[in-house]
Amino acid sequence: MTHHTAPHASPDTLSADDQSARFLNSPLAEDIAQVLITEQEIKARIAELGAQISADYQGKDPVLVGVLRGVFVFMADLVRHITIPISVDFIGITRYGPSTRTHGVVRLVKDLEIVIENRHVLFVEDVIDTGLSLRYILSGLETRQPASLRICALFNKPRIRLFDLDIAYTGFVLPDKFVVGYGLDYEERYRNLPFVGELNDSAITQQRLPPNAQS
Ligand code: IMP
Ligand code: MG
C-alpha cells in the first residue's frame, strides 16, 4: 500500500484537520517533499497488526525483539495493540565499512538480555531494505534455538532485496525510495515525525552525506 498522491508536508499542505498539523510550523516539515504514509494510516495498520499477532500468538508468551534505534517508535505503538502476555527486548547493531547499500559489515553492539531458547520470538523491524542487517541478526538468533522465529516489518521495500526473507507480518510495502519519519532517520534527524515522507533535495544537500542504509 503506497500513497504517491498524498499531500506535500509543507505548511501549506499539511491541512489543519490532519493529526500531523502540529508539525505545520516545524522546520522538519519544510524538509519533506512528499508524505507517503500519513499518521492515521500508520495508526490504523498497527492496530490491525497488533490484533493479528495477539490472535496468532495466543498462549505462546512470545518475545518481541527489536533492533535499535529506528524501531523504538513502532515497537512502542505495536505493543499497545497486543493484548496477550509478551516480553520485549532489543539488540543493537551497527553497519560500517564501505557505505554503499549492499556492502559493509554488520556488528552486534548490544545483545539480548532475555534468554530466547525454546521461546517464540517475533523479530520486529522498522524497515527492511536490502535485508543485510536482518540476515545477520537472524542467523545469530537461530543458533540460540528459539521455539519459533518470525519477522514483523512495518515497512518493506522488496524491490532491492538481496536475500530471500519470509516476512510473516508486513505493515506497508514501500517503493525503493529513501524515506524518513516514524522512527526512520536521515543523519539522526526526523525520527520524531509521526508520518513517513520523502526528503526534498535541499534537505539532503544541506546536510553532509547522501542517504545510505545504516541502522
Ligand atoms: P537493510 O540491512 O538494507 O535491510 O537496511 C535496514 C536498515 O537500514 C533499517 O533498519 C534502517 O536503519 C536503514 N534504512 C533502510 N531504508 C531506510 C530508509 O528509507 N530511511 C531510513 N533508514 C533506512
Ligand atoms: Mg538509520
C-alpha cell at 121: 520470538
Give the pLDDT mean for 21-31. 90
CATH number of the structural domain spanning residue 57: 3.40.50.2020
**CA distances (Å), origin 29, targets 35, 43, 89, 181:** 10, 19, 32, 10
Name the active-site residue from 129, 164, 166, 176.
129
Q: Which atom of ligand 1 is nearest to the CA of 67?
A: 10
Q: DSSP state, 181? A: B
> Which residues constitute the domain of residue 127?
40-178
* Cβ contact 214:133 at 8 Å: no
At 107-120, the pLDDT tens digits run 889 999 999 999 99
At 44-74, the pLDDT tens digits run 999 999 999 999 999 999 999 999 999 999 9
Whether 14 shows a pLDDT value over 90: the answer reads no
Q: Determine the residue of 125, 129, 135, 177 to mutate for testing ligand 1's pocket, defined as the one with the most ligand atoms within 8 A of the Cβ atom.
A: 129
Residue 104 within a domain: yes
Percent with pLDDT over 70 in the chain:
84
Q: β-strands 63-68, 87-96: how paired?
A: parallel
Residue 3 within a domain: no
Whether 32 shows a pLDDT value over 80: the answer reads yes
* pTM attached to this predicted model: 0.88
Instruction: State the pLDDT at residue 136.
Output: 87
Q: Is 111 a catalytic residue?
A: no
C-alpha cell at 119: 521461546
Ligand 1 centroid – CA 98 distance (Å): 15
Whether 104 shows a pLDDT value over 70: the answer reads no
Structural domain count of the chain: 1
